[in-house]
Every structure is written in C-alpha cells, then in structure tokens.
Amino acid sequence: MPSIQPPAVVLVTGANGFIGSWVVRRLLESGFVVHAAVRSSAKAQEIIPLFPKECEDGRLHFVIIPDISTPGTFDEAVKNVEAIVHTASPCVPEVNATVNDPEYLNRPAIEGTIGLLKSVRDHSARVKRVVITGSAVAATLPSSVPSIGAVHIDIFNDYVVDLVDKKGPNAPFAMQYAAAKTRSEKAVWEFVRLNTNLRFDVVMLLPPWVIGPELVKKTRIGDLNASNQRMLARFTQPQTFGDNAGTWVDIRVTAQAHVNALIIAEVGNMRLGVSNPEIVTNQDYYNAYHQILPPPNVPFTVPPPQPREQDEPSVLSQFLLEHLRLLRLEPTSLENSLKDTIDYLIHEGLLGLSDVDAFHGEHSDETADVSVRAKL
C-alpha cells in the first residue's frame, strides 16, 4: 500500500468541476504537481486565473480529454503521473443534454471510470494509487425502504438501480444519477477483484451533499453545484424537498479527503464515507443561519430558530466518524459552512432578488422523490 507524497505528479480528472477544482487547489497547496484533465481549452481557461503562479512555474499542466467515455482516451495522460484523482462525472443536466436517457450518466460514470483504470493497468508503470470520487447515494438505501436501519458501508443501492431499469427514460434525473454512481462503483470493485496483479490500488470516497464556496466563476444560481442549489432551495422552497436534509460535508473537507487518501498508505482499496456524522433537517439549516453574526442579508425570509433534541449516536454516525479518523479529517460546523457559502453567493452577486426568482422558475416543477432521498 503506497503513500503518495509531494512533489509527486497527480492527474486530476474533472479539474474544472466543483470538487475537482478544490482538489487541484489542495494538491498544489500541499506541494504536488498537477496534471489537470478538462474537456476543452475553454474549460482550462476557467482554471488558469485561479492558479496563475502555478501555471507559470510549471506545477500545473492541462490535459484535454474531450470525452472520458472514449476507449483509450487516458492512455497517454496516465504515463507520466504517480497517482490519479478521478472526480469527473456529470451530476447536473447540461444544456441540451438528453437527460431522460440513463446512458447520459452511465457512459461517463461506468465506461469513463473503467476506461481510466484499464489505461493505468495497460499503459502506466508509475501510477500507484487511484482515488475515485464516488457518492454516498451508492452506499445507502432510500428512506422509503424498511431496512434503512441496516445502513452500512458494505451496502450498495441496488434498489435504485432496479427502479431505473424498470422506469428507463421515465426515471427522474436524481434517480438516474444514483443508479449510475452505484453501477460505476460496483464496476470498479469488480475490476479490482478480477485484476489480481495490479500495480496500483484504489480508494473510493463517498461524499453526500457537498456545500461550500465554488472556485470556478459562476454567473447564475443554476450553474452552481447541485448540492449548493439544493441547500439554497431548502431556504427558498422547503416544501419541494421535505424536511429531511440527509448528511452533508464541506467542500474543503471533501477536497482534503482526496489529498489525504493519496498520502495515507493504509486506506488503499478502501471504501470510505466522507461526511459530517449527523443527519440534519431543514430546521438545522435555519438554526445555523440564525447563529451567524451578523446575519447575512438574504432576499428571502428564514424561518425562526427552534430547539432540537440531539440524536442518539447511530451506527451510521459511528462509522462516518471512524472514516474521518482514518482520513485524518475534522468535520466543520454547519454554521461555518453555511456562512461561507452564503458569503460567497453574496460576494459573487448571485443572491439578488431577480437571481432567486429566476432560480425559483427553473425549479418550480422539481419534486422530491422518496425513492432516492438517502440518509447517507
């Protein structure tokens, strides 16, 4: 089980994404050299202003990968790196995307990920570890399933996979996403099982809702990461999603988890939840808002604070705390993460009344689906 130490060269896929851009930042801050994989030169231009010094001194390079699903597309990119952090995978519909087709998510999630592993197996003698951004939705059953009390890190969300198989194009996008992430992760572990002589190991990280400031410039709320959009909607449209807000994690903790997963030798071939240990509600978000002093000036009314009894420690919270310990991470408070996220939205001019009204219009028909409302 290797430990990848700076100044090793690390390939980061999806480098202009919410998680990917923060991983690039944390790697550079830790002394690594980064090869940032993006789909086009235009996507690289989104990142260059964030790291001008690192681009100039050669510690940040760019690799253009137009379609991660193309067989062999990573063959050259993996040859001169010691490790890989694979964050690339769609999580929100793109403009003009065929979002009613499950293959829109399945191809990059499954073929892209397995194609990357095949490229490492066949074309790299240097790569010793691949860290993959999975999702907590792959490791839990939905709240509508009676056996939810059996949540454990060994669970796979085959329930949602079966539903998408039955519904096909009629399955909601969120359900298709959960199924694609489940299929992708199961394919990864099957690849590891079948390839017994790999020169590298794999670490699978499973974050839930990830909130926090974004690095890549955004011009409207609808371009934000899906988790940040969902967090905002809990204030502006709470009836859309119900009161159970599930688990969450700060983007900076998430990014550091990817870096630590390279450095810490002992986590090789492990599946690790990266999450604050408590399950929160909409009211927890409102309470956290009212703890921020002075309160941020937002163009919507926040419900008043209410006392909330502390939950008893659960099996879920215990193993999430253990995984944070293994990754040498400290969770942040909801108050601090919420403050930084709202401050970011205000600073970027994304919380004007017209912005929020437009956001409402885009999401007015969205409904919560209990079949994918996960507790992890």
Is the pLDDT reported for residue 367 higher than 50? no
Domain 9-213+246-273 coded CATH 3.40.50.720 = yes
Amino acid at site 76: E
Q: Mind listing the pLDDT tens digit for each residue in 16-72?
A: 999 999 999 999 999 999 999 999 999 999 999 999 999 999 999 999 999 998 999
At residue 171 the predicted structure's pLDDT band, cuts being 50, 70 and 90, is confident
Residue 210 and residue 254 in contact, taking contact as beta carbons nearer than 8 Å: yes
| Contact yes or no for 375/143 (Cβ under 8 A) | yes
Confidence label for 375 from pLDDT (cuts 50, 70 and 90): very low
pLDDT digits (tens, 9 = 90+) for 207-229: 999 999 999 999 999 899 999 99
Q: What ranges do the domains of the chain cover?
A: 9-213+246-273
